Amino acid sequence: MFHKIVILSLGIFALTGCDAQKKSRINTKATEMSTGTKTTGSDHQKDGVIYLTEGENKFLREYQMNVTFKGVSEDSRCPEGAQCIWAGVAIAQVEVMGTSTRPMILNLASADYPARNYQQSTEFNGYTITLQDIAPYPKSQDGAKALAGKYKIGITIKKAEPSADSTTK
């Protein structure tokens, strides 16, 4: 009988400790979110362009959306100092999530190439999101692989134009 009481007591203490860890973890995440998630300020927005570094997350209050620059999935731009047949393109992966929508990853290209299905702009939640800038530009001696984790992008967000073939009134 004594064994059962001891085991039951240890089980209750273990579950109580787990609950305390969960609460601590939730409070830590809430603190990280409040300090790590930035609202667009004048230092990160110039001429309507919102700048994000790789891995950066921002909540854009005026658009009611969260934007995260996940990284660059492709950078085939012709390096500086090299002669190329094709100018190339860089693809930035941007995760967007509205206050009432699921997260969605957008692949935004540095230039429009419809034949290769590269798009510089795309629509999300009633807004057109356009990749304006991606830096740094690859150099011939290093190549694009040396730039991993160092990318910075500039995007613009504008209210989407209603299409002519829209069925909603």
Whether the model clears a pTM of 0.85, i.e. scores above it, the answer is no
Domain count, the chain: 1
Q: What are phi and psi of 116, to 5 degrees?
A: -105, 5
Q: Do the domain assignments include residue 130?
A: yes
Q: Do the domain assignments include residue 113?
A: yes
Q: Do the domain assignments include residue 2?
A: no
pLDDT at 169: 46
| Tens-place pLDDT, residues 38-68 | 433 434 556 789 999 999 999 999 999 999 9
> Using 50, 70 and 90 to split pLDDT, how confident is the model at 11?
low
Q: Do the domain assignments include residue 33?
A: no
Q: Do the domain assignments include residue 31?
A: no
Region at 78 (left for phi over 0; alpha for psi -120 to 50; beta for the rest): beta
Domain that holds residue 134: 45-159
